Structure 1
Amino acid sequence: MMQHINTSEELPRLDKSDLESKTGIWVCLLEKNINVLMPVPAQIDLIYKSGYIIDCNDAFAKMYGFTTASEMTGKKLQDFFLYNEQNLELLTSFITSGYNLSGVESKEMDAERRIVYFINTIKGILINNTLIGAKGEQEIKI
């Protein structure tokens, strides 16, 4: 399901099984692509400022208090992915691990501004040493 892609024609979208999954699945793109050779703090800043959801399933939307995926589509990362030490460490690990993480915890905010915790798997979308986005899965931490 999740993989690095080689051409812009292959931007990932969710397939039928993703859409029906009870696991939250999402695709995020960056308004400003990131050269993987940039310093880590600069990459983190760009991810926060320019990341937005282009596709997700209803399960993902419901984790944030929405009813359907269409309510999350277009939302900026900074609308729900908190700028805190835990998430900064997550993004640092994402970058330094080659844009591939599994089983990492994030602290985020739902539509009612309540704190929620997730366990995430995240794979970067890379084209010619440029990060253009990510695709991931998440579950609510119990």
Structure 2
Amino acid sequence: MNTLTVVGVLGTIHNEELRQKYNCSLDLYKEIIEEFNPDIICGEVHPNAWDKYCKNKRERGYWGEPASEYWELIFPLCENNKIKFVPIDWFELDVWNNFDPFAELPEGVRENIMRMDDEWFDKQMATHSFGRIPFN
């Protein structure tokens, strides 16, 4: 017998100010997740941070990871609704702590690329109003 697996992808904004600006409240995310009714949520959380959280629910990770929507919404929602959570963010600390993708670029080129990066971010954010679910 063949079975079908339905996968939903919900992009989130990790910054509360931007969530407010682009109408991506945690209440909206909660409504969408509950409507989808998943069996499992895979999230952008490092396995070490997840292990720490499982040992101590007040543990808030490290290095700014995971993002606030996990503590404020997703972890409690998973616990309350008996949804399995699977952490799927892997990174190396030396890369994380020294992350600057433009560091090796020559002056002038670096500024141009950073400006282009900002422009692309603005274009992404401009898509927030094209459907019921911002950015999806």
| TM-score past 0.5 threshold | no
Decide which structure has the larger Cα Rg and report it: 2
TM-score (normalised: structure 2): 0.25
Q: How does the TM-score come out when normalised to structure 1?
A: 0.24
Kindly indicate which of the two structures has a greater share of residues assigned to strand: 1
